[in-house]
């Protein structure tokens, strides 16, 4: 863990942070309260965690979760901070190697129900992009394309991955396995307070963070509706240049991919990666990040419903 970032590991600090987060669901108020907490060096008499919150904190600390306050870390901001600005969550719960947030990254996203074309292609792309630590692979820890991307990255030599959870930290469950020998090559993140319920909005927030941290993205396999399209909206809003697989006609989502290529004007790569395809994705991670724009809620709304 770099010392230049405001992170909290001690159980007593986590208990206070849990209390503040649960008592202040509005982001502006939460930011103010966390700022006061940080400036008083955690010595804040107004913060009195309950026994339940102390127990939660103890369990999280034992499981190696820690809290990060992004607004206190501006000297070397992560891409999320650069992209989201004042809308950056004021608190993120993390587990794993924080410094992966400072490395070049590619998101790989897609359906929970891929076919052989999508699975094989994503394995190859994730492996080659992660090999030798070239790029960190980011995704949302969903079953299907996401979990295949995470797993393939960790199985690659020196490969690393970041996964964003849509749940509270104590309810975070992986849909892939992490070998013991790769303990410094992964990072899990959630913005959601302990003991909060999973609701539909959580998935949208998770998608926003995936898009904000990635420098580009590969859309492995998708239909025209769903979470992948939601993440695509964020990526394009943040001026990223996502790339999509040019699936064969018999593959699931082939029609949707062709519409996204033609109507969405997405760059495309072959299902079996060539050296040029890999270089294209690597080059996109070097692109300058522009200021964010508003999400186009009606993006692709004119597409046919029966794809």
What CATH number is associated with residue 209? 3.40.50.450
Q: How many domains does the chain have?
A: 2
Reported as type and span, the H/E element at residue 139 is strand 136-139
Q: Are residues 14 and 139 in the same domain?
A: no
Instruction: Enter the tokens of residue 279.
Output: 């270089």
Binning pLDDT at 50, 70 and 90, where does residue 206 land? very high
- Measured CA to CA, the distance from residue 109 to residue 228 in angstroms comes to 6
- 76, 111, 131 — which closes off a domain? 76
Length in residues, the chain: 307
Q: Are residues 162 and 235 in the same domain?
A: yes
Q: Report the C-alpha dihedral over residues 23, 26, 31, 32, rounded to 10 degrees.
A: -70
% of the chain at pLDDT higher than 90: 79
Q: Are residues 151 and 184 in the same domain?
A: yes
- pLDDT (tens digit per residue) in 27-52: 989 999 998 888 876 666 678 999 99
Q: Are residues 242 and 123 in the same domain?
A: yes
Q: H-type helices in the chain, by residue range?
A: 11-23, 27-39, 51-62, 79-84, 116-130, 145-155, 200-213, 227-237, 254-262, 275-284
Evaluate whether residue 151 is within a structural domain.
yes
Do residues 165 and 141 make contact, with C-beta atoms less than 8 angstroms apart? yes
- Across 59-76, average pLDDT: 88
Domain that holds residue 57: 7-76
Q: Are residues 38 and 135 in the same domain?
A: no
Instruction: Enter the tokens of residue 2.
Output: 């770099």
Q: Are residues 57 and 154 in the same domain?
A: no
Q: For residue 62, is pLDDT > 90?
A: yes
Q: Are residues 124 and 254 in the same domain?
A: yes
- pLDDT (tens digit per residue) in 101-115: 999 999 999 999 999
Q: Are residues 171 and 252 in the same domain?
A: yes
Q: For residue 2, is pLDDT > 50?
A: no
Evaluate whether residue 180 is within a structural domain.
yes
Evaluate whether residue 299 is within a structural domain.
no
Do residues 203 and 177 make contact, with C-beta atoms less than 8 angstroms apart? no
Q: Are residues 31 and 114 in the same domain?
A: no
Reported as type and span, the H/E element at residue 279 is helix 275-284
Q: Are residues 110 and 194 in the same domain?
A: yes
| Closest C-alpha among 306, 232, 217 to residue 263 | 232
Q: Are residues 174 and 280 in the same domain?
A: yes
pLDDT of residue 119: 98
Q: Are residues 31 and 122 in the same domain?
A: no
């Amino acid at each position: 863990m770099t010392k230049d970032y405001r992170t909290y590991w001690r159980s007593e600090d986590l208990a206070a942070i849990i209390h503040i987060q649960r008592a202040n669901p509005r982001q502006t108020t939460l930011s103010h309260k966390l700022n006061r907490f940080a400036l008083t060096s955690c010595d804040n008499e107004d913060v009195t965690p309950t026994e339940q919150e102390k127990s939660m904190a103890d369990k999280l600390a034992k499981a190696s979760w820690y809290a990060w306050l992004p607004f206190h870390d501006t000297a070397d901001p992560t891409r999320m901070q650069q992209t989201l600005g004042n809308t950056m969550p004021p608190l993120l719960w993390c587990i794993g190697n924080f410094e992966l947030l400072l490395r070049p990254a590619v998101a790989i996203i897609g359906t929970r129900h891929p076919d052989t074309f999508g699975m094989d292609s994503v394995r190859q792309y994730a492996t080659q992009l992660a090999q030798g630590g070239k790029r960190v692979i980011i995704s949302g820890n969903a079953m299907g394309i996401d979990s295949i991307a995470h797993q393939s990255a960790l199985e690659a030599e020196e490969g690393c991955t970041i996964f964003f959870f849509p749940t509270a930290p104590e309810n975070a469950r992986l849909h892939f396995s992490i070998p013991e020998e790769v303990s410094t090559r992964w990072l899990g993140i959630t913005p959601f307070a302990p003991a909060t319920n999973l609701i539909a909005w959580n998935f949208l927030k998770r998608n926003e963070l995936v898009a904000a941290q990635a420098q580009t993205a590969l859309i492995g396999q998708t239909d025209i509706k769903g979470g992948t399209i939601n993440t695509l909206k964020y990526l394009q809003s943040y001026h990223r240049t996502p790339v999509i697989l040019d699936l064969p006609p018999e593959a699931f989502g082939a029609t949707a991919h062709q519409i996204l290529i033609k109507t969405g004007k997405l760059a495309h790569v072959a299902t079996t990666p060539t050296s040029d395809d890999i270089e294209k994705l690597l080059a996109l991670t070097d692109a300058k990040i522009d200021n964010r724009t508003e999400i186009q809620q009606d993006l692709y709304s004119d597409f046919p419903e029966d794809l």
